[in-house]
A = this chain, B = another copy of it.
């Protein structure tokens, strides 16, 4: 099979429902924004050995690629529309790989209401590099941003924090730090993050600032603080942890850093004024998503994290940085 057979067989069917993808036969896709909406566009890459181990099924790699990009749509409050791919693959990549990869794409296309719009497939002599560009829509002027947090706002996260970072350890075969059930749970949280797409859209008009946590809670909060010219205080005991994380954290080194700076959470981090608390509780119930208040926005530009005894934690690192 050559490149064009692969496109015909595995990728064109994923674009068939959207005539703007032109059947993947043209040099570009055409996209028509709905009236009164603006385009939200994000591009995130995942690389073998960095964002995934390499022992995942191609289907799960495909879904992770879409989901880290969908998480950016969630962060902006956008309704996802479609995506483009750039796949840089070893030339040994075979039909079985493409079939599984396409199956994963199809599964999450259905789940999130998106279609393939276009892209590029090329080979590399190095490791698997995958990039996706995700497109979505928000009503003009309604997008959530990192700027906008105000002193006095409450600070919230969706879901539970730290599972992804613990899942990486499990995936790397670290000493059996938990029961099989906990290990599977954490591994799954790392391999298939749950982008908070519905929540993001419903936070428009409630949240004063929002982003997704990918590099680590404290580091990412730093971006909100910098863009909004504020500081923040986190109460560590308020941070929502999964049962599996609660079981594992006491047994590992640097439990605080793992939660606060581990990354790979793909949960939403957002701020809202205290009077929004009721609306947020209602939203959490309606969407069946945990929303936890973890602290407050304060004046200044510092981020403080308080431990169980109300003492300030000194962190060795704030999050993940490439280079």
Please, what's the 1-or-0 string for A99-137, where 1 marks a CB less than 8 Å from any CB in chain B? 000000000000000000111111111110101011110
Whether A30 touches B40, Cβ cut-off 8 Å, given contacts A133-B84, A133-B133, A321-B2, is yes
Q: Give the one of A2, A51, A138 with max B CB within 10 A.
A: A2
Which of A4, A45, A125, A226 has the most chain B CB within a 10 Å cutoff? Answer: A45
CA distance A212 to B26 in the complex (A): 10
> Could you tell me the distance between the alpha carbons of A135 and B133 in the complex, rounded to whole angstroms?
11
A228 shortest CB reach to chain B, Å: 10
- Bound together, the chains give a CA A4 to CA B227 distance in angstroms of 13
Stretch at the interface among A85-93, A161-169, A236-244: A85-93
Given A39-B33, A86-B86: A121 touches B322 (CB 8 Å cut-off): yes
Q: How far is the CA of A119 from the CA of B42 in the complex (A)?
A: 7
A197, CB-defined interface residue at 8 Å: no
Q: Which residues of B contact A133 (CB under 8 A)?
A: 41, 43, 84, 133
Tell me if A232 counts as interface (CB < 8 A to partner B): no
Do residues A131 and B45 form an inter-chain contact, with CB atoms below 8 A? Answer: yes
Task: Report how far A84 CA is from B45 CA in the complex, Å.
Answer: 12
**A124-B126 contact given A39-B31, A76-B26, A135-B41, CB 8 Å threshold:** yes
Assembled-state Cα–Cα distance A40/B136 (Å): 15
Query: What is the distance, in angstroms, from A73's C-beta to the closest C-beta of chain B?
Result: 7
- Whether a CB of chain B sits under 8 angstroms from the CB of A282 is no
Cβ of B45 and Cβ of A88 under 8 Å apart?
Answer: yes
* Cβ contact within 8 Å between A27 and B72: yes
With contact pairs A32-B38, A117-B41 given, residues A126 and B129 touching in the complex (Cβ less than 8 Å): yes
What residue in chain B is nearest A320 (Cβ atoms)?
Answer: B3
Q: Give the number of chain A interface residues (Cβ < 8 Å).
A: 73
> Does A29 belong to the interface (CB within 8 Å)?
yes
Please, which residues of chain B bring their CB within 8 A of the CB of A127? Answer: 124-126
B211–A323 contact, CB under 8 A? no
Contact A131 B86 (CB under 8 A): yes
- Interface window among A139-147, A150-158, A301-309: A139-147
Give which listed residue, B6, B129, B322, contacts A323 with CB less than 8 A: B6
Closest 7 A/B residue pairs (Cβ): A126-B126, A28-B42, A2-B321, A86-B131, A27-B75, A45-B86, A31-B39
Additional 16 contacts, C-beta under 8 A, given A31-B41, A33-B33, A51-B122: A2-B322, A4-B321, A28-B76, A32-B140, A41-B135, A44-B86, A45-B87, A45-B88, A45-B120, A47-B122, A86-B86, A88-B129, A91-B322, A122-B322, A125-B127, A133-B133
8 A-B residue pairs with CB within 8 Å: A31-B39, A33-B39, A41-B84, A43-B120, A43-B131, A45-B88, A45-B131, A51-B122
